Structure formats: structure tokens, C-alpha cells
Structure 1
Amino acid sequence: MGTAASSEFYMSGYAGRDDEQVIVLDATTLAVLARIPLRGLLAHVVFDAVGRFAYVTASNADTVIEIDAATRQESRRFRLGVRAAPHGARVCGGRVFVANSGGRSVAAIDLATGAVEEVRVDGVPIQVACTPDGATAFTALQDQRVVVRVDMASRAVTRLALPDTARGPAQVYLGPGGSRLWVADQGSLTSSARTGNRLYEVDVAGWRVLRSAEVGLGAHGVVASRDGARVYVTGSLENNVAVLDTATLSQLATVAVGRGPNGISLRDALGGAP
């Protein structure tokens, strides 16, 4: 899910192998503005900083697809490694960063040249975050209860083990200013004994877990407000979104939504936060 401007947003839709599309919706009325047919088990949709191009991960095609937001047409494709299974993505510093769940790596696609750089993280990443300049990437390894920091210049990978309460992290989000990394701990969606329901706050400079808070079962998607005052987490198994105050990490509200919420974006007057 991604936002081109404050007036519309894009999301991937899947109703079977022969019926996949990126859907463009009006952000106010939720009316469908366009349907862009694509293939490849579409996952995440993200935008560049100005909303000119969207980037869609196609897991079964080991590909990232670029969509021109002006024409709503595919404009380029970027091939990743065999069985890369790209899932989450972010755009930072002129590159698309991708969590390769099958390839057990983080990839960075240079949008100027099309060149792809890949750094092994030796685990299953679900989502990726990055600093605005693209110098550093972050991901969480769902199979190891570990958060990873990648220095793109040196290709150095620094691991941080989550507390024993973690069940298996899913999405990560770098807060404004880059001082805090938010980690949603989903765990298993099929085994109640291994289902996660916590949000972890990581101090990026000190590279340590500061705090955690209980949220909805199957905590998957996470996004922070632009001022850093609020963080929002989807509870996939409780059909809700938890709203937390980042100063106290207390839960301010629980908003009931549709069945099985997954990713989450935040819309405000300036546009969207992926």
C-alpha cells in the first residue's frame, strides 16, 4: 500500500493468479479510479518522494515493477535474483530498497542506472526501512526474532536480538529523524502459542530495544506520524489498528477495521507516509 498524493492511494489486489492488479483509489471516497493489471503475486506498493512513480513487488516473478503515476502504466521492470521473492519495499536516496524473503537478503535498486545491489542478511525479511539518504537499511528477520541494520557503503550487517517475548517480527518503520525504529511482532498466524502481540521500540544510535507495548494479536503493519507523536499498528487477528502515544507508549485507542488488516499507510495534508 502506498500514497501518491493526499488525494489518492495505490494498493495491490489479488483474486487468483489470473486476476491481479494495482488498484488506484480516491483517498477520501475510496472510489476506484483505475485498475492496473499486473502479474506475479503482487505484495507491497511504495512511491518515490514526490509521488511520480510507484514501485510494486511481485514475489513470484522475482521482480519490482515501476508504474508511472501520470499515465498509470507500467514503465520499467527490475529483475532480482532467482527465488528472491521480494516482499516489502521503501524508496530512499534514489534507490528502491527491497526485503527479499526468499533470497534472505536486502536489495537496493538504483533508479538512475537500474543496477541492483544485494546484501545477505541470512534470515527471512518481511519489510525494510531506510534512512532518507539511502545510506542505511533496516529489516527484521521473521524466522529468527532479530532486527538487522545494513550499512550500504561497507555492506556491514549488524544484528540485534529482540527480547524473549518476541514471536517473530514482521514490519519495521523508521520514525521521523531516524532515532527510533518501530518493530511489529506478528509471530505465527496459525499457532496461538506463537502469535505475537507486541510493538518494540529500538534506539537506532544505541542499537538496543528501549521499550515494548502490547497491541493487537498478529501485529503486522506499523507506521509513525510525521511528528513522531503517534504510532499505528495493525492487529491482523483482531481486525483492528492500535494507536499509541510514543512519549509513554500507552495505547490511546483501538480502531475496529475490516478483516485481517495487513500493511498500513498514514495520510495527512502533506500526502502519505508508506
Structure 2
Amino acid sequence: MMNAKRFTSLALGISLVAHLGLAMANPTGNVYTANERASSISQVRVFDLEQRIELPGIPTGRYAHGLHLSPNDHTLYVANMKSNSVSVIDVATLKETAQIPVGQNPVQIGSTPDGRLAFVSLSAANQLGFIDTTERKVIGKVDVGRTPIQMMATVDGREVYVANQGSSQDPDDSVSIVDPLTRSSIGTVTTGKGAHGVAISTDGAYVFVSNIEAGTVSVIDTNSRKVVDTHKVGAGPNGISFKPSSAQ
């Protein structure tokens, strides 16, 4: 996982927004961040790590937030919360090639391992939207829990785990399990208050969920679909990622 503070101070010395969404494209070595504070048209900021310079920004919809790179690293998807759309950006040209209407308040994006299907959390509608990445259009939606935020597909692409955060006044504590083929909900797991971030182990055996209000990380066994462990981690855990021990 990239340390945003270290990236800011050592690589570039440029001040970034407080709530920072990051994505890195392996072929180019560029890092992308969402400039979500813009009041009208937002943009994705682009940083060249090799040259340690900031490249021209890429205009998107309003309040760009969640970023997701396609599995082949060719396309960057951006959730535009106030435009109710997802921007499609060509990583090679650094241009927006499409903007897909998706529904109410899109926050985060994910995809199947083959990249044929993308998902977007529609936090104001309590739904998960499905995007055909070839046709570049929404092909279905499914109801999930309250205020869905992050999601991730299992390594076989057969299930998507969606964290439902709720509000700070009335937090949700659930993770919805969705079948992307039938576009239907197939289960719910109770985790901790304010379920927010989702990461899945490389072998697909476990799902890790950060619970922003509870200050914990829940560990879900994908076979039993039950929480098998809970770790206290401190106040307000947000995003989460998984790094196998061999990569440490």
C-alpha cells in the first residue's frame, strides 16, 4: 500500500488533498489522485514518479473521488460523486474518452478480474451498479446495505463483497455479497460499525473489512461467509489493502 504522506514529501513535495484517492499504473509509473475539492469541474492529478514531476491534470465530472485501474492497467475509472457519473480515462493518452451516467452519488469503483464488468457503489441509492466496460453503459443495479462505499471481487470473479458504511449518526455494520453474473444479492455478513474498506487475500480465502466507526478490521472466511476474527486497529480506519507475506 502506498504511503500518501511519504509520496507527497519525498517524491514531489506537492501538497495534495486531505482525503486522498490513489491509483498507480504499472506500465507508465504514473500515480493518479482525485482532486475532489473542486467546486465545479474536478480533475485527476497525474504525477510521473520517474521524473518526479506533475503532469497536466485530466478533467472529469464534478467531485472526482474513487479511482480504479482496469486489470490490464490501460483504463482508469473515476467516480464523480456530484455528476452521478463515471469517467473513463485512457492511461496512454491521459484523456477522458467517455463519461458514463451511473446513478446517485457514485463513490468507489471495482471490476472483475477479467475487466469485462465494472462495479460502482451508489451511496445515495443504497445500490451497486454494474457497468459493461465494452459498451460503456450501466447494465443493471442491485440493492445492498445503507451507504455502500468500497467493494472488491473475489479472485475467481464469482462474488463481490460490498462494504455498507451507513452514516456516522447511524452506522451500518454489514457487508453485502453480490453475484455479478446474476446481478443479485446472495448474502450479508455482519462486521463492525461503519464498514468501509474491502480487501481480499490473493488466494481468495479471506476478505478484510475496515470498520471506520468501530476502529476495527473484520476478517471474513469466504467459504463460510462468516467473520472469523476481528482486529482493533485504532480510530477511523478507512481504505485497506492486502500484501502477501512473500512481497514484504
TM value normalised by structure 1: 0.80
1:267 counterpart SS class: coil
Q: Does 1:43 align with 2:20?
A: yes
What is the rounded CA distance, in whole Å, between the counterparts of 1:256 and 1:35 in structure 2?
33
Q: 1:148 to 1:78 in 2, by over 3 A?
A: same
- Whether contact under 8 Å (1:44, 1:87) holds in the other structure is yes
How far residue 255 of structure 1 moved from its aligned partner, in angstroms, is 0.9
Give 1:138's match in structure 2, choosing from 119, 128, 139. 119
What is the rounded CA distance, in whole Å, between the counterparts of 1:74 and 1:42 in structure 2?
19
Q: For residues 210-249 of structure 1, what are the structure 2 equivalents within 5 Å?
A: 210-249=186-225
What is the rounded CA distance, in whole Å, between the counterparts of 1:118 and 1:270 in structure 2?
39
Structure 2: where are the runs of 5+ without partners?
Answer: none
Q: Does 1:87 align with 2:65?
A: yes
Q: Which amino acid aligns with 2:233?
A: V
Give 2:142's match in structure 1, choosing from 158, 161, 171. 161
- Cα deviations by residue, 1:66-120 (Å, 9 ceiling, x for unpaired): 2223344323421113xx1111111113011111111111111001122311100
- Whether contact under 8 Å (1:10, 1:45) holds in the other structure is no
Equivalence for 2:35:
58
What is the rounded CA distance, in whole Å, between the counterparts of 1:74 and 1:270 in structure 2?
32
* Larger strand percent: 1
Q: Which amino acid aligns with 2:111?
A: C
Q: For residues 50-129 of structure 1, what are the structure 2 equivalents within 5 Å?
A: 52-61=29-38, 62-81=42-61, 84-92=62-70, 93=72, 94-116=74-96, 117-129=98-110
Q: Does 1:23 align with 2:2?
A: no
Q: Count matched residues.
A: 242
Structure 1: where are the runs of 5+ without partners?
Answer: 4-8, 12-21, 26-31
* Percent identity over paired residues: 29
What is the rounded CA distance, in whole Å, between the counterparts of 1:180 and 1:203 in structure 2?
5
Q: Which amino acid aligns with 1:87?
A: H
Q: 1:271 to 1:76 in 2, by over 3 A?
A: farther
What is the rounded CA distance, in whole Å, between the counterparts of 1:264 and 1:201 in structure 2?
18
